[in-house]
């Protein structure tokens, strides 16, 4: 490393610490007794070290149920939305049809509709029509994100040659058969990226579940943790442990598919 590079690395390390310090602090705090979390000066290593926060959380709070609720909802939403996006993205990338341009622009402009605008009516509609069950309402309104279609469309244009599709057509494959047996497998990296993104969106979502779910037996993780957070005695110790456990699946997914995610996200943005 040359001397000239020193400021650069100093900058990167400083940011590194800045970005990770709060997380490390939370991780360490989750192993401290409640009184120590606020100890001054803050200690990096928990001393005494305790697993009590985790034990209490898992035995005295319905943490497992929150966790199950969140992961199942997010998994279903992810699978469905990835499929819907790939299908539409493929049509936009590889077919010519009347009204395509209009449909594409309509799809795209939906990205600038703020969620807060549909929050109230969506709640009213779903509750009044009896479709407000979390299993439906936490999943279905979110399975067709325009961003995902755009991402798929960009990826398909760049990476799936027409000749492959042409050959399949000459062999007499049906249009959907081509999609299923040729396009989907070739799309795998992009599907992974969109899948992680969609999973994180659903798994971490807060405002919509906060509005929609009133029955505490159907709380998602963020809602459950919030009850500990806003309760009378602010159970920081439990929330910290819960937050660490909650973030594990997200981090695991991210680590596994990090490369695809980071590259997939920027598909489309680069060329504008």
Partner 1 sequence: MTTTVAGPPGAAPARSAPKGEERRPRRPWAPYLFVSPFYLLYVLFMLVPVGVSLWLSLTEWVGLGPPHWVGLRNYRLLATDISFHRALGNTAVFVLVALCLVVPLALLIAQALNTRGLRVRDLWRTAYFVPIVVSPILVALIFGLVFDRQFGLANALLRALFGTGGADWLGDPDLARVSIALVMLWRWTGYLTVFFLAGLQNVPRELYEAAALDGAGRLRTFTTVTLPALKPVTAFVVVTSFIGAAQIFEEPYLLTGGGPAESTLSVTMFIYRAAFQRQQFGYAAAAAVVLFVLVFGLSRLFNRLLGIGRATS
Q: Write out the binding residues for partner 1, residues 136-175 only, by CB under 8 A.
A: 140-149, 153, 157, 162, 166, 169, 175
- With binding defined as CB under 8 A, does residue 56 bind partner 1? no
- With binding defined as CB under 8 A, does residue 90 bind partner 1? yes
- Cβ of residue 87: shortest distance to partner 1, in angstroms? 5
- With binding defined as CB under 8 A, does residue 72 bind partner 1? no
User: Which range touches partner 1 (CB under 8 A), out of 44-52, 59-67, 134-142, 184-192?
Assistant: 134-142
How far is the C-alpha of 35 from the C-alpha of 37, rounded, in Å?
Answer: 6
How far is the C-alpha of 3 from the C-alpha of 253, rounded, in Å?
Answer: 38
Furthest C-alpha separation in the chain: 74
Token pair of 208, please?
A: 């919509």
Binder among 58, 75, 186, 265 for partner 1 (CB under 8 A): 265
Q: Within positions 225 to 264, which residues make up the interface with partner 1, using CB under 8 A?
A: 225-226, 229, 236, 239-240, 243, 246-247, 250-251, 254, 258, 262-263
User: Which range touches partner 1 (CB under 8 A), out of 47-55, 56-64, 114-122, 185-193?
Assistant: 114-122
**Among 127, 138, 263, 247, which Cα is nearest to 194's?**
263
**Among 77, 200, 86, which Cα is nearest to 142's?**
77
Binder among 40, 60, 171, 232 for partner 1 (CB under 8 A): 40
Number of residues counted as binding partner 1 (CB under 8 A): 112
Number of neighbouring beta carbons within 10 Å of residue 63: 22
Binder among 72, 79, 186, 200 for partner 1 (CB under 8 A): 200
Cα atoms in the 13 Å half-sphere on the side-chain side of 115: 8
- Cβ of residue 139: shortest distance to partner 1, in angstroms? 11
- With binding defined as CB under 8 A, does residue 97 bind partner 1? yes
- Cβ of residue 65: shortest distance to partner 1, in angstroms? 17
Asked if 222 and 209 touch (Cβ cutoff 8 Å), the reply is yes
- With binding defined as CB under 8 A, does residue 180 bind partner 1? no
- Cβ of residue 188: shortest distance to partner 1, in angstroms? 19
Going by the DSSP 8-state scheme, the letter that residue 42 receives in this structure is P
Asked if 160 and 166 touch (Cβ cutoff 8 Å), the reply is no
Q: What is the rounded end-to-end Cα distance, in angstroms, of the chain? A: 36
Q: Is 226 exposed, middle or buried (0-12, 13-18, 19+ CB in 10 A)?
A: middle
- Cβ of residue 158: shortest distance to partner 1, in angstroms? 10
- With binding defined as CB under 8 A, does residue 105 bind partner 1? yes
Place of tokens 């439906």: 136
- Cβ of residue 269: shortest distance to partner 1, in angstroms? 4
- With binding defined as CB under 8 A, does residue 207 bind partner 1? yes
Distance of CA 271 to the CA centre of its chain: 24
């Amino acid at each position: 490393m040359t001397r000239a590079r020193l400021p650069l690395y100093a900058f990167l390390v400083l940011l590194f610490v800045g970005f990770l310090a709060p997380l490390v602090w939370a991780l360490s705090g989750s192993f401290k007794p409640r009184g120590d979390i606020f100890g001054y000066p803050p200690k990096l290593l928990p001393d005494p070290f305790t697993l009590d926060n985790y034990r209490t959380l898992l035995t005295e709070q319905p943490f497992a149920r929150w966790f199950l609720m969140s992961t199942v909802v997010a998994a279903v939403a992810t699978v469905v939305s990835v499929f819907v996006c790939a299908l539409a993205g493929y049509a936009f990338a590889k077919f010519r049809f009347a009204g395509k341009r209009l449909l594409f622009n309509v799809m795209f402009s939906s990205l600038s509709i703020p969620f807060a605008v549909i929050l109230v009516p969506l709640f009213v509609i779903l509750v009044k029509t009896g479709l407000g069950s979390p299993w439906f309402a936490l999943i279905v309104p979110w399975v067709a994100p325009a961003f995902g279609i755009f991402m798929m469309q960009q990826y398909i244009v760049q990476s799936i040659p027409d000749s492959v599709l042409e050959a399949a057509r000459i062999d007499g494959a049906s249009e959907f058969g081509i999609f299923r047996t040729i396009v989907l497998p070739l799309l795998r990296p992009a599907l992974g990226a969109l899948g992680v993104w969609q999973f994180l969106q659903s798994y971490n979502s807060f405002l919509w579940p906060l509005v929609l779910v009133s029955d505490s037996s159907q709380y998602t993780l963020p809602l459950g943790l919030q009850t500990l957070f806003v309760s009378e005695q602010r159970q920081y110790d439990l929330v910290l442990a819960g937050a660490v456990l909650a973030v594990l699946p997200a981090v695991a997914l991210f680590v596994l598919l990090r490369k695809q995610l980071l590259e997939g996200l920027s598909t489309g943005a680069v060329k504008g």
